[in-house]
Amino acid sequence: MNQIIHKFTRNVPHWQPRVEPVKLAEATQEQLDALQVTPSNTKVSEYVLTLAHDVESLTVRTPLFNAIMYDPGGMSRAERELGALGASLVNRCIYCAAVHADRHAKLKKDTAITDQLFAYGDEAKLSPRDQAIFDFSRKSAEAPPAAGPEDMEALRKAGLSNEEILDLILSSALFGWANRLMHVLGDPVRQKGNS
């Protein structure tokens, strides 16, 4: 029996779907194209196989996700990860938070910020720039969205350019989307026999 994880962690859990993923052997050509399955690449995660049930959405979201998180220019990769984390903490998506805390720590070569976030949540004390980014992200992720003019002002005071602020809006909002897939359609689990 796999153990469901309820606490935030950087140790990325396995994601276990609550619905039956698409079976590769039964996938349509459109699904295979979206999954980028080729004779030399037949390894597809259960998450992607689950989302292949709605292949039109999957096909458009994958390049959109990559552009928001990885396209050059604008906000740094680590700060976009902080945007992703702000939303994932609000929505309590343990899986997303783990993946993106791990990426943030690796990009920064430092776990101090994500340690602080996991220990103190909304009360985390960060550098002025990271604080403005995290506060904007988490307030934007509230439902209804709760970021206000004072949060935008804090971003500008911290020295963020318009391009950086746009990237923050996008990365936080993107995780409003991703959290509602990962946290709803599956459980973060520690598989028996794994650490």
Partner 1 sequence: MTPTEMTILSKADLLPDGDVSEAAMSRANIIGMSQAAEGAVLRPKDFGAFEHDLRAALAARVARLAADDTLAAHYLSSAGDKAILADPAETGKSYQLETVLAFVDKVANQTRDIDAEDVAQLQASGMADADIVRLCELVAFLAYQVRVIAGLRLMQGSAA
Q: Write out the DSSP string of 1-31.
A: -PEEP-S--SSPPEEEESSPPPPGGG--HHH
Nearer to partner 1, 82 or 168 (CB): 168
Minimum CB distance to partner 1 smaller for 110 or for 142 = 142
Q: Which member of 56, 70, 123, 192 binds partner 1 (CB under 8 A)?
A: 56
H-only helix segments in 71-127: 77-90, 94-108, 112-120
126 or 177, CB closer to partner 1? Answer: 177
Q: Counting contacts by CB under 8 A, is residue 9 touching partner 1?
A: no
Q: Which range of residues in 33-41, 111-119, 125-133, 147-155 is near partner 1 by CB under 8 A?
A: 147-155
- Name which of 97, 91, 81, 87 is nearest 147 in CA terms: 87
55 in contact with partner 1 (CB under 8 A): yes
Exposure of 177 in the CB half-sphere (CA atoms within 13 A):
14
Query: Which range of residues in 33-41, 69-77, 97-105, 109-117 is near partner 1 by CB under 8 A?
Result: 69-77
CA 10 to mean position of chain CA atoms: 13
Q: Does 33 bind partner 1 (CB under 8 A)?
A: no
Question: Of 7-15, 64-72, 99-107, 113-121, which segment contacts partner 1 by CB under 8 A?
Answer: 64-72
Q: Smallest distance from the beta carbon of 59 to partner 1, in angstroms?
A: 7
User: Can you tell me the distance from the alpha carbon of 28 to that of 56, in angstroms, rounded to the nearest whole number?
Assistant: 12
Please report whether residue 177 would count as binding partner 1 according to CB under 8 A.
yes
Residues 6+ apart with CB under 8 A from 93: 175, 178, 179, 182, 183
